[in-house]
Amino acid sequence: MIFGVGCDIAKVSRFEKWVLSKDMISRFYNENEHVSENAGLQRKCEFYASRFAAKEAFSKALGTGIRGFNLNEVFISKDDNEKPEIKVLGNAKKMLEEKCGEKYKIHVSLSHEKEYALAFVVIEIIA
């Protein structure tokens, strides 16, 4: 059963000042979601913009907005096939389990191009 759906778009150029500030990155991103230092500025901005959009989309799918948890408790990792997946920790996980129980699956799709990054999230309750 589908519990919730969320979508978000972010302007990539907005993240340039974030990329240049380690404080902003550590505030909003989990230590497990960092782009290579060798990546160019545009690539770094796309990386962080798409992940920020995923965090926003997750909060919309959960139905809470970004309230009750920190954004760095929701992060993108990759599975064995390099497919992105959302992981949740702390209060975000507690809220998710309160709403969906312990059997759920979070689907995520990320996309970006030069100017915009987009994320789409579906939270599915597994019966």
Report pLDDT digits (tens) over 31-41: 999 888 899 99
Cα→Cα distances 1→54, 61, 88, Å:
21, 13, 20
pLDDT at 44: 95
- Tell me how many domains the chain contains: 1
Residue 50: give the domain boundaries. Answer: 2-125
Q: pLDDT per residue over 50-109, tens digit each?
A: 999 999 999 999 999 889 999 999 999 999 999 999 999 999 999 999 999 999 999 999
Q: pLDDT per residue over 6-16, tens digit each?
A: 999 999 999 99
- With contact defined as beta carbons under 8 Å apart, do 86 and 18 qualify? no
* Catalytic sites, residue numbers: 60, 112
The confidence band for 26, taking pLDDT boundaries of 50, 70 and 90, is: confident
pLDDT at 23: 86
Q: Residue 30 has which token pair?
A: 């989990």
Q: Which helix (H) or strand (E) covers residue 33, if one does?
A: none
- Given a cut of 90, whether residue 30 has pLDDT beyond it is yes
pLDDT at 90: 97
CATH number of the structural domain spanning residue 33 = 3.90.470.20
> What is the value of pTM for the model shown?
0.93
Positions at the binding site for Mg(2+): 8, 56
pLDDT at 11: 98
Positions at the binding site: 8, 56
- Given a cut of 90, whether residue 124 has pLDDT beyond it is yes
